[in-house]
Chains A and B, each alone.
Chain A
Amino acid sequence: MKVTIDGITVDVEPGTSILNAARQIGGDIVPPAMCYYSKLEGSGGKCRTCLVKVSKGSEKDPRPMPKLVASCRTTVMDGMEVQNITSPEVIEARKGVVEMLLINHPLDCPVCDQAGECHLQDLGYEHGAAKTRYEFDRRTFEKIDIGDKIQLHMTRCILCYRCVFTADQITNTRLHGILNRGDHSEISTYIQKAVDNDFSGNVIDVCPVGALTDKTFRFKNRVWFTKPVEAHRDCDKCCGKVTLWYKGEDVIRVTGRKDVYGEVEEFICNTCRFDKKKTADWTIEGPRKVSHKSVISANHYETMKPLPVVKTNPLLQEANKEQFERETRL
């Protein structure tokens, strides 16, 4: 099946969503997605950031779709033509959605552990306005404790439902869900239960914002001062393939390996995530490749493209690499 997105044609399997077709092309034309998660069945369609315009329905029925559609939940038809960043209407609608997502967000990025790897931060940076038009108190919630491993900050939540799908599909018991309705909806456990089972930690990885964060990493460090390293171990519960986040010689956080869209390649268990925080527990594979656009790569690694005015110094790079390997091998 052929689909054309912003003038670029790509061949895809029948049943592919517009978003995944765009991801096959890659680059700027990929719509942002806050709630869709390719590994979770039924996710998507809620945040409305991935809205696109279908200017030609298909080869058979060339009528355009009357409304903007959520690209993550719309399957492509043969000959479909989609406009994403080439349509002013889409850009305008997306700007509106980002504004809506931010009006009740606390914007406490300076104290939020997710800062630096937060999708809402990126989205706001790319599509948001510098000033808000919202002049009312932001909504707040009563704080609830959901256990000793996971921290819930409900005020930051954008209600993407990803963690609910994760608990449904990855773990065997779902203890949390969405309570209430409208802008009072909240992620909560019914009558203060702790969210605790072998794979519950994955809700941290799927959360696009800082609503669910790792309590063992809480306030330890800003993410851009840490060094991500790929590592694995033999685990009887999960694949054991993780990213270790080093601060000096200490592993201060363990997460799943996230791809360029922030989706983990494979879900990991709580033992790997919370209990194995020594270098000796892991087999190091090497530094993690981080997009040079990301703030996380602000400090290091050969993947970072230096500014054009700075000449590359292969000798120095080599020396740095050696030093890094020496230090991380231990």
Chain B
Amino acid sequence: MGRKLLLQHINAPGINTLDGYRQTGGYAAVEKALKTLSPDDVVEEVKKSGLRGRGGAGFPTGMKWSFLAKPEGVPRYLVCNADESEPGTFKDRYLMTKIPHLLIEGMIVASYALGANTSYIYVRGEMMPQIRILEKAIAEAKNAGFLGKNILGTGYDLELYVQPGGGAYICGEETALLESLEGKRGNPRIKPPFPAIAGLYGCPTVVNNVESIAAVVPIINEGGDEYAKIGIGRSTGTKLISASGNINKPGVYEIELGVPVEEFIYSDEYCGGIANGKRLKAVVAGGSSVPILPANLILKTINNESRLMSYESLSDGGFATGSMMGSGGFIVFDEDQCIVRNTWNFARFYHHESCGQCSPCREGTGWMEKVLHRLEYGHGKMSDMDLLVDVSKKIEGNTICPLGDAAAWPVASAIRHFRDEFEWHVTNAAEATTRNYGLANYADPLPKVEKTEA
């Protein structure tokens, strides 16, 4: 049984209220940080913990905080990115619904560390219930003296606001989020300048994912060094994984980083195996934008080592044979799922969500979607696969924000690993509309010969 830090008291009665949360030791981190630690100490603890951003990129949070510019007389802001819209990821919503006070406590500690007196939680517009929950929780915290002027008599002031977004995926990109928060069209800004220098209203800003901010609470409670002991290598601590797809027990799981993927899928503690006695075909390990991997490559790395749920191990093998941790949206496909259809579905999503600011992404996502639609409905050509790879290459890396990359990777990786299935959709077009390609050789043991030759 792995250690749980965030979801430890998830089933405690009344955990969503201030009283219930206090009974499980809630707001201890606020008292500890504000009364005994200086802001720099808090940043130092987070640095020591090795906490990496849980939103997808995996950038060390402590380092991000220490980059924040601190000019005199200019306010600084902390913005919590709760615009969780990645297909396959639903951990933040779960956290905010069940334990809103954990996020608020994390916000207070993080704002204190950064010297922010106004902080925002930018919540995706579709999550109206969570917005209500957060607003209620903020009111409770304010009545109890954890927010507002002179918190706990320490002289530190903090106002916390919840801002609903309009429901655009692109507003999860930090600069687009800031634009949206300022009341403008949610177009990503051109970097540099980075938000740490000029963010919200041109002031230094830190944007963090919900889970990253919530993880600050156990870090302060237990100390950064203790936190760093959990996990493996540079992937420290615990991570919330949103498991979905053809598994027996879909849901949000908190894992210690370093759990083997095989254990995560098959053990009863987590996903409980593939549903209906089917076999595993493919896994998207970190939300729709990371490369998809076939069964053999997700369980073992190319060097035939067991693949672990950690930032390093999941990306082992680079783009050729690896994937990424991403935001932890773990989507499992069994042998009955069609990879072409799934790739088309992802491409359709990115086409719909592209902001339209820069040309490769605006035009390329639509193009890829149309070609994949054609393939899925039996009108494809053998040249389409190469076309898709070429288009995805022309988008990748050439856009303002990472949405272009996120749109290109799933398509490129699906063709890299499942080319047979795409070709089968062209050669057996009529059959492809009535049945699936099946498992084929995607779960076969990895060939060793290729590697030794290279």
Residues of A that sit less than 8 Å from B by CB = 44-49, 51, 67-68, 70, 73, 93, 96-97, 99-101, 103-104, 133-134, 136, 139, 158-159, 161, 178, 180-185
Contact = CB atoms under 8 A, between A and B. Distances in A.
A47 B398 contact: no
Nearest to B404: A48
A134 B359 contact: no
B366 A97 contact: no
Interface string B381-408: 0000001000001110111100000000
A115 to B, nearest CB: 21
B355 interface: yes
Contact of A100 (B352, B355, B394): B394
Given A70-B190, A97-B394, A133-B387, A182 B355 contact: yes
B126 interface: no
Report which residue of B387, B394, B395 has the largest number of chain A beta carbons within 10 angstroms of its beta carbon. B394
B281 interface: no
B360 A97 contact: yes
Given A46-B400, A100-B364, A183-B354, A93 B394 contact: yes
B64 interface: no
- Secondary structure dominating the interface of A: loop
Interface string B291-314: 000000000000000000000000
Contacts of A101: 359, 363
A67 B358 contact: no
B190 A103 contact: no
A184 B356 contact: yes
Contacts of A158: 359
Contact of A181 (B356, B360, B364): B356
B370 A182 contact: no
Nearest to B360: A100
Given A47-B359, A48-B360, A103-B367, A182 B354 contact: yes
28 contacts: A45-B358, A46-B357, A46-B359, A48-B358, A67-B397, A68-B397, A70-B400, A93-B398, A99-B394, A100-B359, A100-B364, A101-B359, A103-B363, A103-B367, A104-B363, A104-B366, A159-B356, A159-B359, A181-B170, A181-B353, A181-B355, A182-B356, A182-B362, A182-B366, A183-B351, A183-B362, A183-B366, A185-B356
Interface of B: 168, 170, 185, 190, 351-360, 362-367, 370, 387, 393-395, 397-400
A70 B360 CA distance: 13
B398 A68 contact: yes
Nearest to A177: B185
Given A51-B398, A73-B190, A46 B355 contact: no
A70 B170 CA distance: 20
A134 B398 contact: no
B185 A178 contact: yes
A97 B404 CA distance: 13
Given A133-B387, A182-B366, A97 B398 contact: yes
B359 A48 contact: yes
- The secondary-structure label for the interface of chain B is helix
A36 to B, nearest CB: 11
Given A181-B356, A182-B356, A185-B356, A45 B362 contact: no
A178 B356 contact: yes
Contacts of B352: 181-182
Contacts of B355: 181-182, 185
Contacts of A182: 351-356, 362, 365-366
Contacts, number: 90
A96 B362 contact: no
A48 to B, nearest CB: 5
Smallest CB-CB A-B distances: 10 pairs: A96-B394, A185-B356, A100-B363, A182-B354, A45-B190, A183-B366, A182-B356, A67-B397, A136-B370, A73-B190
Contacts of B357: 46, 159, 161
B356 A48 contact: no
A181 B168 contact: yes
A45 B359 contact: no
Contacts of A73: 190
- Looking at B357, B364, B387, the one whose CB has the most chain A CB atoms below 10 A away is B357
A100 B365 CA distance: 10
A103 B363 CA distance: 7
Contacts of B395: 96
Contacts of A96: 360, 393-395, 398
Contacts of A99: 394
A99 B359 CA distance: 10
A136 B170 CA distance: 26
B358 A46 contact: yes
A303 B170 CA distance: 50
Given A45-B400, A181-B354, 12 more contacts: A48-B359, A48-B398, A51-B398, A67-B397, A68-B397, A93-B398, A96-B360, A96-B394, A99-B394, A100-B364, A159-B357, A161-B357
A101 B360 CA distance: 8
A136 B369 CA distance: 11
Residue in B362, B370, B393 with the greatest tally of chain A CB atoms within 10 Å: B362
- The residue in A70, A161, A183 that gathers the most chain B C-beta atoms within 10 A of its C-beta is A183
A14 to B, nearest CB: 15
Contacts of B364: 100
Contacts of B356: 159, 178, 180-185
A72 B363 CA distance: 21
A136 B374 CA distance: 10
A58 to B, nearest CB: 13
Contacts of B351: 182-183
B363 A48 contact: no
A96 B364 CA distance: 10
Nearest to B355: A181
